[in-house]
Amino acid sequence: MVMKVAIVTAGTLPVPAVRGGAVENLVESLARVNEQYRKLELTVIGVYDQEAEKQARKYSHTRFIFLKSSKFIDFLDRMAYFFASKLLKRGGSASFRYIFRRFSMLRQSAQILADGNFDKVVLENSATLFRALKRKNNYKKYAGNYYYHIHNSVSGSYGCKKIIPGCKTLAVSRYINQSLPDFMRSLPENHLRVVYNGIDTDRFGQPLSEKEWLSIRHQYELKQDDIVLLFVGRLTREKGVKELLTAFQQINDPNVKLLIVGSRFFDSDIHSSFEIELKKLSEQMADKVKITGFIPYEEIPQIYAIADIAVLPSIWEEPAGLTMVEAEASGLPVITTDAGGIPEYVGENAIILRRDGELVNNICRSINLLIQNTKLRRKLSHLSIRVSAAYTNKKYYWNFIDQISNKSVDGSLLRQTE
């Protein structure tokens, strides 16, 4: 029987994920795999985007509901972001960029849930989305059938402490379920569920032709014989990119280059003083460091393909480790940290560093080790590919279904997908 599932997104970035975003790409991956297996009747509620609406036409078994905001609300958001980032000098100002639009979307999402008749409701990441259940008493209508897909640590209840404990979690790692706030501690053990992230392994790890490989390297001013270190992620302090740049200053080999791929907040107009700080630091090594800015997700597999080593030294409690899995699926040896759920994803087949006072020096030592030891690079590369096989989009799809249907997926059916 086909389940009717409503997925409510946070309203910051669109789905399909034409503007980037790890969560948005994961939602789209469900829709993509569902085109093949059709076990779900998906409805994805998200923010309007012209290009996303165009891409949505490719999906026959997912209904995308695009919610628009008024010009007045857009104006309020611009003013809120201006005051937060310029006048108040407040950290975390990115959260103010679409605050009024998200309030508008919550009201519209609540109405859609009230008017609809879904078997399951999945809230993507933001606890503010529980307000769409609180409005219209939707939490009563969907009692026992609403799920909180948690991609980051939960920071607040947003006035929904009474209804959040009625959810079942779909956490991206065991670490996330173990770090839930006090008001979620009453959730019974069998409601604490894990759905490990997946990636499209058909896209990552595909070899480029020599012409393509050389062309892309040339595009980023990289030579054929360069050893390329790669960082992919948002350019924020918690991702460890400054520690990486500081460590890279100690690398003396002129043929070792560092490619930093990312921006402050995906494909948006949000920038930060930290990005300026990184650029000033990188300018001291202008001949060896290239910061690309935002690159569309569909182009990222090619970026991994021209690299030799991935260095992803997250310094916060990283909920999962999607970029680490992408790097491993691309056959790259990975240098990372013991942050949050990362060890659950990379296993013991990466260089995992402690986040202590020696982190910068240890990043440098690990880079030098892999530069000098070609045999170790090849060994870790081989192991990386084996580990990443556990995180395919198909396995993600079937695990997602398993956890929201309260029963095990038919093992024989799962095996047929591999």
**Tokens coding 288:** 């060896």
Q: Compute the average pLDDT of residues 29-46.
A: 97
Give yes or no for residue 98 having a pLDDT over 70.
Answer: yes
Architecture of domain 3-198+392-416: 3-Layer(aba) Sandwich (3.40)
Q: Report d(CA 242, CA 250) in Å as an integer.
A: 13
Mention every residue, 6+ apart, whose C-beta is less than 8 A from residue 66.
Answer: 14, 46, 47, 48, 49, 52, 53, 56
Give yes or no for residue 160 having a pLDDT over 70.
Answer: yes
User: What class has domain 210-390?
Assistant: alpha beta
Would the pTM count as exceeding 0.85?
A: no
Mean pLDDT of the chain: 89
Instruction: Please indicate whether residue 146 or residue 96 has the higher confidence score (pLDDT).
Output: 146
**Do 210-390 and 3-198+392-416 fall under one CATH topology?**
yes
pLDDT tens across 368-407, in order?
999 999 999 999 998 888 888 889 999 999 999 999 997 5
Q: Compute the average pLDDT of residues 342-358.
A: 93
335: number of Cβ within 10 Å: 27
Sheet holding 309-312, edge to edge: 289-293, 256-261, 227-232, 309-312, 334-337, 351-353
Domain range annotation of the chain: 3-198+392-416, 210-390
Of the listed ranges 25-39, 83-97, 283-297, the one predicted with least confidence = 83-97
Angle at 251 between CA 248 and CA 252, to 5 degrees: 145
